[in-house]
Structure 1
């Protein structure tokens, strides 16, 4: 019972996660005709959409390996069906995730996992000399289009709800003027991993001009003016213009969070973390490392006092792993070398386990009912090899923010 209680408390202490995108390997494309050639074109378009979503790169189709693979898209399809969308016959395709991953590896491309930063969009629309903040329930066409395009790129997009707390925290001039402090204050309640500020001017017909800023740090960093925004301008036909803005936003986030493939997958590191004070700290830290996109598997190798040494099997390069790990403000690098060598020490039953991160976690994996440590590997038992290379030593703090732990 004590072990179950410790696990339950540890799960409650887990950091806020980025949103989980569930449709990365699915695409629905228009099917204008019923002939075979039209269907082959639709399958190619669907594969392009999935590769863009999974790689985080809008220009992935320019890769020579990917361009060649698009000519034989059928081999990547795992399931398909026919459907209708807005009265248009469509082809709904699901692609095999392992084959997509292999293709991106062969192309030396990048991979962006299902765990993705949620983006809060502050949108002000200037129409007929009237400027208004667009809230989630406003049924605004521009806002719906931004959300649709975000879904196309696999980026979770949310609009502020516009209740009393929102309208008293921020005003139209705050957003239109790009004033960081009120934007950060009003965004705090939503805990996004990125904030997109959009100023939209409606023009003649179906034309729009967009001026936007993307803050890709957490809200605490934004409030301290520690985030330099990426900026852009797009204008033209509304659907195309919004698509261009969202593509730019997704490419920026993909460059930050997607990991390069084709690195030394056999590489192992010993990662040492100090100041682990409780089982809650341990489980939270282990889950954090496991969820990193660059990590294939994690095993707690040694514990001594408040120090834990993990064996980390990498899917990508050491630099990418170090970058991902350092994005969580609860971890700070220790520049001084360790004063002593870590030695094996007996631990409470069920505390240490090896975790395989090479396969995506199921949505139910975080529930207490699915956690069973009765058969897990104990510290120091049957661990074959110790990694020859030690990464940076980190210190753990529970007072830091976890908003960027992706």
Structure 2
């Protein structure tokens, strides 16, 4: 059987299957986006009520991608009675903490929060978040080091906590012999990033963050940051008296930049309908993988197959946001790749 006959048979089979299958449901965002842990002094109702509000504020900032969300109508309405958004909660003691540290863990209703924000045109940042590799050089009163994965230093723990609060998936390099042979402390500190970017390929991140933290003799901290995501660089600096504040602000700034690219909004309550085409769909397994991926994207509200021609499928998508927003999201994924800037809406299925 030649290639034309194979494509024709696949087309007939696929059209038959599509007629029988329901449209894929939109998948909910990752559940941990709507979870929070807050230290509490006790389990009294008053403390719990106050802590629920604090936890909901953290979640709202995380999924909106900006602190300004707390001043919007939907957020203020939810914060008046945060208990209504709670699905589960429990208390636990942090293992091996001395003295014992009590925390309240809360999970909120993610779908209700998403709908409340998007229906009022507030930006929403779902589960499509780029894995961000962080090369962090620290000079602490003469002590110089590059923070490695799971090294347990104060800097590592502060960054990890800040990243968890904002929902930024941060990973650190191993700093094993391979990393050390490619990246020196002076490369990061001096702003010579070519070696850093080359070494980053090993980890296949969607974004690379390079940070430099310096502790002055008086005890204060200063920082310089450089972020590369989808070929677009951003740089900034900051200074704080406390390390935890500096780490929090560095990750806050990173999250703000990422959200500006990947968060979507339903401006004025209107939805855009766009057409996209995807090539390289060679089997029913490919079609299933593609449809599951598209239907799970935050920006996609509804999808229909408009046309099948050989190994190319054309979809009609109803979107929160624009085709450009969708393309930005696709670039950090592993399922689709844009064919050409000159032909927006054309993609290839990665094999």
Query: TM > 0.5 between the two?
Result: yes
1:260-294 alpha-carbon deviations (Å, 9 max, x no partner): 13565665333234x53733765665455334321
- Matched with 1:126 is 139
Q: Where do residues 266-345 of structure 1 align in structure 2 (5 Å cutoff)? A: 267-273=272-278, 275-276=279-280, 278-279=282-283, 285-325=290-330, 330-333=337-340
Shift of 1:104: 1.3
Write the distance in 2 (CA, Å) between the matches of 1:186 and 1:259.
32
Write the distance in 2 (CA, Å) between the matches of 1:245 and 1:252.
11
Equivalent pair of 1:21/1:154 in contact (CA under 8 Å): no
- Matched with 1:109 is 122
Write the distance in 2 (CA, Å) between the matches of 1:205 and 1:79.
45
- Matched with 1:182 is 195
- Matched with 2:182 is 169
In the alignment, structure 1 residue 254 sits paired with structure 2 residue 263: no
TM-score by length of 1: 0.70
Shift of 1:315: 3.6
Q: Work out which of the residue numbers 97, 101, 122 in structure 2 matches 1:88.
A: 101
- Matched with 2:235 is 230
Shift of 1:127: 2.1
Equivalent pair of 2:290/2:349 in contact (CA under 8 Å): no
- Matched with 2:74 is 65
Equivalent pair of 2:128/2:329 in contact (CA under 8 Å): no
Which consecutive unaligned segments of at least 5 residues does structure 2 have? 1-9, 11-28
SS in 2 for 1:42: helix
1:361-380 alpha-carbon deviations (Å, 9 max, x no partner): xxxxxxxxxxxxxxxxxxxx
Shift of 1:98: 1.6
Q: Where do residues 26-37 of structure 1 align in structure 2 (5 Å cutoff)? A: 26-37=35-46
SS in 1 for 2:298: coil
Change over 3 Å in CA distance of 1:281–1:231 after alignment to 2: farther
TM-score by length of 2: 0.80
Which consecutive unaligned segments of at least 5 residues does structure 1 have? 4-19, 222-226, 337-391, 400-406
Q: Work out which of the residue numbers 230, 240, 245 in structure 1 matches 2:250.
A: 245
Equivalent pair of 1:145/1:239 in contact (CA under 8 Å): yes
Equivalent pair of 1:119/1:195 in contact (CA under 8 Å): yes
- Matched with 2:163 is 150
In the alignment, structure 1 residue 79 sits paired with structure 2 residue 84: no
Shift of 1:251: 1.1
